[in-house]
Structure 1
Amino acid sequence: MRKSAVLLPVLSAALTAVVVISVLAPQAPAPSESQSTSVKVDGVVSAANIESVAYTQAVAAAQTRKPKVTVIGTGGTISGVATSRSSFQDYRSGQIAIADMVGQLQPEIGQVADVSTVQFGNKGSGGYTIAEFHALTLAVQKALKTSDGVVVTTGTDTMEEFAYWLDLTVRDQKPVVLTGAMRPWAAVTPDGPQVIGADGPANLYNAIVLAASQTTYCFGTVLMLGDEFHAARDVTKTSSYRMDTFQTREFGVLGWIDGPNIKVGRAPARVQKCDSKKSWLTPFDVEKVKPEALPRVEVVTSYQQAGGEAITAFADAGVKGIVTAGTGSGGLSSAQTAARTAAAAKGVVFVSTTRVGSGSVYGGSTTQPIIAGDDLLPQKARLLLLLSLAFAPTDVAKVRQWVTTLGNPEWDTAP
């Protein structure tokens, strides 16, 4: 099976074991049965059938001590304050400090992990710059030096881009989990009553449980909302208001959090490289690149009789890369095609994707810097192209290699 999905026969010839991961400190008093903090990893992928020493050791270690988890807050709806308890859309985001939100999960979350907090920012996800993404990676890596996992809270509008950026740049195999909410946390004031049906508290609690369990060790960054967790590369927001907005089309979720049980259905392809950290890591060590050195990369969408002026203008403005979100399997209008050819001749690098939300784009060009993005979503392809151009600004062959391999990982199914 290709890409980041794999079924049982590929991973292991037999699956009979159920692995129970305790994230409760040994010295802590035993909770009641209804408050159990044991985490059961069951299903197609578990510590029993991922053939990785590093993964198995990380999961086993979570049984012996209370893990340390750092929660980094960046704002978004999850930290929002509504005008009333029943106002699901009338609210101001970024109003509640992450320390206060975690504090409201006590004492329950204290049975799961020792939790510390970092207030990175407190605004809507769409308001962050690429330079701030750069700084966020450094903040996550700093936290992982002393913590067993990191949870990042963000707004949902561009959460998938936050997740994929961290997936490409964080140089640590420990769990990184993004979460947020579709409804604000509190009403009237930051310490006011909880909004009716607020999903933020449960999402934050489950994200900490997931990070503490080490279940996603070597999975890269995952996105967790509504009791489901998804691969950063594959997930996308599909609805402006629905609670189940995040979906992974074609491949499906990685797994589910059902109370004290974590059920894993599949794993990202990179988990196969878990025992070789050098192979597991991407080449994008942002500590070696200053934020001002990150190039501009833009996205252009195609549609009926689309003009080529946007591509020309971007090229004239000094943009180094452009992702085209084409029709069907990546098609562009005749005007856009002509503009792309002219811009490519000037050195602008293109990645071709589709606007339809799923499915692959093949081909590209061997004579021009036009690279097929396969099934990467346009907004994800932009981040990969941006990083690729930052680390190989004049090497189109290397950029093509990274888009083809890092951007479109496949399981090695060889015996």
Structure 2
Amino acid sequence: MRKRWVGALFAAFLLIAFAVSPYPGAGKASAAEADLPHIVIVGMGGTITSTAVGREMFQSYGTDKVSISDILARLQPEISKVADVTVREVYNINSAETTTKHLYDMSLAIDEVLADENVDGVVVNAGTNIMEELAYFADLTVQSSKPVVFTGSMRQSNTFSFDGEANLFNAIRLAASGETTCYGTVLMLNDEFFAAREVTKTDALRLDTFDGGRYGALGTVDENRIRSVRAPGRVLQCGQESWKTPFDLKKVKPEDIAKVEIAYSYAEAGGESITAMADAGVKGIVTAGHGAGGISTKQAEARKAAIDKGVLFVSTTRAGSGAVYDSGTPGVIGAADLLPQKARLLLQLSLTFSDDEEQIRTWFKTIGMPEFNMGDYMKTKNG
């Protein structure tokens, strides 16, 4: 009898020891049982869910598409050790198809998902051609401070060197870490993550296409080592109502969002395009000027006439970096170092939520040009 009792006790000890074993695979539980972070993928489509006409045809797209759930399935069982992941596919479209309505629906879907207290972060898959614009639109409109990470791929889902699996895995890993809480929206591809305000696509074909300009990346994802080396200025308002932007899309309808266009400047550029835009009823025009925002004489004449019609202008540079500082010129707002396509989004939302030029000018100086000013932060913190 004593031998049986000792044997049963020893067996119980082994079961307990196995359950708490530090060795990989021992005592594995499901993501839900392990209480891992809950991440939701908000699907928008893009190259990551597209196919090529042949496995070696990296630039030749086929007509078939897969779902982001199909790509997620390829990451099992490894992803189940990182997060409890669910999918909400809003759209499965390419960059060329994307409209303001798509961006509006995307942003509201992100906020709706993050309003669930059981959700810890969101990953958005989208087309890389305009991903920087989608990410910045989300950065300007999403009201939750939980992590929002955009990702995608440069090569199609059935190609030899499909990068979407690694990008999706690392984006989930980054969102699940909580590392970018209060960062606003970030973009993660090729093992690096960037601030939505600064990131831009720099190469039409290469995998390492995204770049943060003069400011560089926010950090890297190297296996399970996530390293943040800097943060966007808005983290200083983390936990405060001021962290949120005034662009709450729940207060407007998609058809309310203002029409804004971009006019590109070059040697001897004519003013016809600016005149045509103003005549078509656009509310705002961003000029992508040469140097520190310069535009041609003809464009300047057309701009003056358009301002007289009530069109608001924002001045940017086509140079790719460097600032166009605001001089207070009536009808023209300097966008600092916002790229033209990013300035367009901020002007679009600003004109949607206000018709006061000075208010919009203030938003461009604050929301559009955040600074990591510890002096001001300490003054505020100390009352």
Do these two structures clear the TM 0.5 threshold for a shared fold by scoring above it? yes
The answer to whether residue 340 in structure 2 is matched with residue 378 in structure 1 is: yes
SS in 2 for 1:81: strand
Letter in structure 2 aligned against 1:183:
R
Q: Which amino acid aligns with 1:282?
A: T
Aligned to 1:164: 136
Where does structure 1 differ by over 3 angstroms across 4 or more consecutive aligned residues? 27-31, 363-366
Aligned partners of 2:60, 2:175: CA distance in 1, in Å?
Answer: 31
Cα distance in 2, alignment partners of residues 255 and 31 from structure 1: 30
Structure 1 residue 145: Cα displacement: 2.1
**Change beyond 3 A, Cα 1:30–1:307:** farther
Change over 3 Å in CA distance of 1:348–1:169 after alignment to 2: same
Residue in 1 that maps onto 2:370: 409
Tell me: higher relative CO, structure 1 or 2? Use CA pairs within 8 A at least 6 residues apart: 1
Is it true that 1:352 corresponds to 2:315 in the alignment?
yes
Q: How far apart are the structure 1 equivalents of 2:36 and 2:186?
A: 22
- Whichever residue aligns with residue 390 of structure 1, its letter is T
Select 1:96's aligned residue among 60, 66, 75.
66
Of 220, 234, 241, the residue aligned with 2:205 is: 241
Match of 2:56 among 73, 86, 99: 86
Residue 350 of structure 2 is matched in structure 1 by 388
1:32 aligns with 2:24: yes
- What corresponds to 1:148 in structure 2? 120
**Residue in structure 2 matched with residue 283 of structure 1 by the alignment:** 246
TM normalised by structure 2 equals 0.88
SS in structure 1 at match of 2:92? coil
- The secondary structure found in structure 2 opposite 1:120 is strand
Partner of residue 122, structure 1: 92
Mark the CA change 1:73 to 1:328 in structure 2 (over 3 Å): closer, same or farther: same
Cα 1:71–1:303 shift into 2, 3 Å: same
C-alpha deviations, 1:27-61, integer Å up to 9, x for none?
A: 9985639xxxxxxxxxxxxxxxxxxxxxxxxxxxx
In the alignment, does 2:112 pair up with 1:113? no
- Report the AA paired with residue 92 of structure 1: G
Q: Secondary structure at 1:172's aligned position in 2?
A: coil
TM superposition shift of 1:83: 2.1
**Where does structure 2 lack aligned partners over 5 or more consecutive residues?**
1-18, 26-33, 379-383
Q: CA deviation at 1:250?
A: 0.5
Would you say the 8 A contact 1:70–1:150 is kept in 2? yes
Looking at secondary structure, tell me which structure has more helix per residue.
2
Give the 3 Å change call, closer, same or farther, for CA 280–85 of structure 1 in structure 2. same
- Cα distance in 1 for partners of 2:225, 2:212 equals 21
> Alpha-carbon deviation of 1:73?
1.3
Contact 1:79–1:93 (CA<8 Å) still a contact in 2? no
User: Any idea what the Cα deviations from partners look like across 1:12-41, whole Å, max 9, x if unmatched?
Assistant: xxxxxxxxxxxxxxx9985639xxxxxxxx
Residue in structure 1 matching 2:263, options 285, 288, 300: 300
Aligned to 2:214: 250
Unaligned runs of 5+ in 1: 1-26, 34-63, 187-194
Residue 67 of structure 2 is aligned to residue 75 of structure 1: no
Residues 262 and 349 (structure 1 numbering): CA distance in 2 closer, same or farther, change over 3 Å?
same
Q: CA deviation at 1:380?
A: 0.2
Report if the CA contact (8 A) 1:130-1:291 is conserved. Answer: yes
- Indicate yes or no: 2:354 matched with 1:362: no
2:186 partner SS? strand
2:227 is matched with 263
**TM-score with structure 1 setting the length:** 0.82
* Map 1:186-225 → 2, pairs under 5 A: 186=158, 195-225=159-189
| CA–CA separation in structure 1 for the residues paired with 2:120 and 2:217 | 23
Give CA deviations for 1:263-292 in whole Å, capped at 9, x if unaligned. 11100000011031x110000000001111
Q: Distance in 1 between matches of 2:21 and 2:341?
A: 47
Using the alignment, how far apart are the partners of 2:23 and 2:189 within structure 1? 26
Q: Give the Cα–Cα distance (whole angstroms) in 1 for the partners of residues 176 and 292 of structure 2.
A: 41
Deviations along 1:239-284, one digit per CA (max 9) or x if unpaired, are 00011000011100000000110011100000011031x1100000
Give the RMSD, CA atoms, in angstroms. Answer: 1.7
Cα distance in 2 between the residues matched to 1:237 and 1:303: 22
Equivalent in the alignment of 1:17: none
Larger Rg: 2
* Match in the other structure for 1:183: 155
Change (3 A) 1:320 1:107: same
- What count of residue pairs does the alignment treat as equivalent? 349
Q: Which residue identity is paired with 1:170?
A: V
